């Protein structure tokens, strides 16, 4: 770890201030396509060691919800790095994934409480915009971490959202060369990740003759709504061959609907996120697969990026984190709880 002097801290502060000034002229962020980007695996080789933060540094994390394992795991990754560097750290979230005003209130309170940097995972692309503007005015760096994207944010960490849907579509194309009817269970409208995942799947699969996306319906990240929506779709299209759900909670609701309809052998179901319940369901032969975006690792990378920003490093606007399609064939390869071992596995690919 690099020792930070007062001169380095001053340079870092000036760099942060400059980056916020420049942010006013940034084009609206499309995190999947932003050319100013770097892969997570190249950070140390390109920028060196993570600068040691100043004593008393406090970082605040604002999550979508803690009822979803994905966001709890992301916070675990934040905390791993915060503990390593002796940071003050708080991680808070709204009671539900649809409480946009509650999440905004949490973010605004953290700004008032004097945190040195903030990690935002917005519920929609716009609900934390006022907090971003307040933080910017105070010179507090904000890092957008998955999966909604604030268009004016200066720095983002996360995986390529569109690629989640593309990978699932490619599985259907490879495993059902004859084609067939498929459906999408979307996340929350107004969320960048949901739109990108859906478009990646739909555009990829519809480009191949024989496939037809017969329904694409939002279930707002709700397992219950996904169950009800999938049940209706199965009644309308009894010859359906598969579903792609924008997250694992919804996918597990779809699995229940498929089993209730007696179509488990006919209908493949894929989710997104890689939560432990999804892994267990794949092992049990229920869920066909998920696209794991490794939330603990993503959280660690995001906290490391924040420390680099505070240390004055001029990073690319997007730091891309890894993802992998998980099925029964490779579930054992990625079921790795030790994050250092997971890093080695992903770097070796």
Task: Give the CA angle between residues 172, 97, 323 to the nearest 5°.
Answer: 35
248 with 274, same domain? yes
Instruction: Please name the residue that has the structure tokens 């004859």.
Output: 178
217: phi then psi, degrees, rounded to nearest 5: -130, 130
Task: Give the CA angle between residues 13, 14, 15 to the nearest 5°.
Answer: 90
Domain for residue 340, yes or no? no
Domain that holds residue 99: 6-157+295-321
Query: Which pairs from 237-240 meet CB under 8 Å and 24+ separation?
Result: 237/181, 237/183, 238/263, 239/180, 239/181, 240/180, 240/181, 240/182, 240/183, 240/214, 240/266, 240/267
240 with 201, same domain? yes
195 with 229, same domain? yes
305 with 231, same domain? no
β-partners of residue 37 are 318
CATH code of 194's domain: 3.40.50.2300
What integer pLDDT is reported at residue 25 of this predicted model?
74
Look at the chain and report how many structural domains it folds into: 2
What integer pLDDT is reported at residue 10 of this predicted model?
37
189 with 87, same domain? no
Domain for residue 265, yes or no? yes
Assign 3-class secondary structure to 114-144.
CCCEEEECCCCCCCCHHHHHHHHHCCCCEEE
10 with 150, same domain? yes
Answering whether pTM is above 0.95, one says no
Q: Give me the torsion for CA of 187, 159, 79, 56, rounded to 10°.
A: -110
32 with 142, same domain? yes
243 with 316, same domain? no
Domain for residue 46, yes or no? yes
Domain for residue 331, yes or no? no
Q: In sequence order, what DSSP letters do the residues of 53-118 get, joined into one string?
A: PPTT-EEEEEES-SSSHHHHHHHHHHHHHHHHHT-EEEEEE-SSTT-HHHHHHHHHHHHHTT-SEE
Domain for residue 334, yes or no? no
What integer pLDDT is reported at residue 24 of this predicted model?
52
What integer pLDDT is reported at residue 349 of this predicted model?
84
84 with 116, same domain? yes
For residue range 62-87, what is the model confidence (pLDDT) as tens digits? 999 999 999 999 999 999 999 999 99
Q: Give me the torsion for CA of 29, 35, 39, 44, rounded to 10°.
A: -100
Average pLDDT across the chain, whole number = 93
105 with 206, same domain? no
* Residue ranges of the chain with per-residue pLDDT less than 70: 1-24
What integer pLDDT is reported at residue 203 of this predicted model?
98
Domain for residue 181, yes or no? yes
Domain for residue 346, yes or no? no
What integer pLDDT is reported at residue 26 of this predicted model?
86
For residue range 107-118, what is the model confidence (pLDDT) as tens digits? 999 999 999 999
- Select from 59, 34, 25, 32 the least CA-distant residue to 308: 59
What integer pLDDT is reported at residue 70 of this predicted model?
96
175 with 94, same domain? no
Residue 158 tokens, joined: 């996360």
108 with 169, same domain? no
Domain for residue 125, yes or no? yes
SS3 289: strand
Omega before residue 147 within 30° of 0, cis? yes
């Amino acid at each position: 770890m690099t020792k930070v002097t007062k001169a380095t801290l001053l340079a870092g502060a000036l760099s942060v201030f400059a980056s916020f000034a420049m942010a006013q002229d940034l084009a609206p962020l499309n995190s999947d396509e932003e050319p100013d980007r770097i892969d997570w695996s190249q950070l140390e080789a390109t920028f060196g060691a993570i600068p040691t933060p100043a004593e008393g540094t406090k970082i605040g994390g604002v999550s979508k919800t803690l009822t979803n394992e994905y966001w709890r795991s992301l916070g675990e990754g934040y905390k791993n790095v915060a503990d390593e560097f002796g940071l003050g750290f708080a991680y808070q979230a709204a009671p539900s994934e649809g409480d946009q005003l509650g999440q905004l209130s949490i973010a605004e309170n953290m700004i008032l409480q004097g945190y040195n940097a903030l990690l935002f995972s917005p519920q929609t692309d716009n609900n934390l915009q006022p907090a971003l503007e307040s933080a910017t005015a105070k010179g507090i760096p904000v890092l957008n971490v998955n999966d909604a994207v604030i268009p004016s944010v200066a720095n983002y960490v996360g995986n390529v959202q569109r690629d989640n849907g593309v990978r699932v579509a490619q599985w259907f194309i490879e495993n059902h060369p004859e084609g067939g009817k498929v459906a999408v269970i979307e996340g929350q409208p107004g969320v960048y990740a949901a739109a990108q995942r859906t478009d990646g799947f739909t555009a990829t699969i519809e480009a191949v003759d024989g496939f037809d996306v017969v329904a694409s319906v939002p279930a707002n990240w709700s397992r219950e709504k996904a169950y009800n929506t999938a049940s209706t779709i199965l009644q309308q299209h009894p010859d359906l061959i598969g579903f792609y759900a924008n997250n694992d909670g919804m996918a597990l609701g779809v699995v229940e609907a498929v089993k209730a309809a007696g179509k488990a052998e006919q209908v493949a179901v894929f989710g997104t996120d890689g939560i432990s319940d999804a892994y267990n369901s794949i092992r049990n032969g229920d869920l066909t697969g998920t696209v794991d975006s490794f939330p603990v690792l993503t959280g660690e990378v995001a906290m490391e990026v924040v420390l680099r920003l505070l240390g004055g490093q001029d990073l690319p606007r997007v730091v891309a984190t890894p993802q992998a399609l998980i099925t029964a064939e490779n579930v054992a390869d990625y079921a790795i709880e030790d994050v250092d071992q997971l890093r080695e596995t992903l770097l070796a690919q």
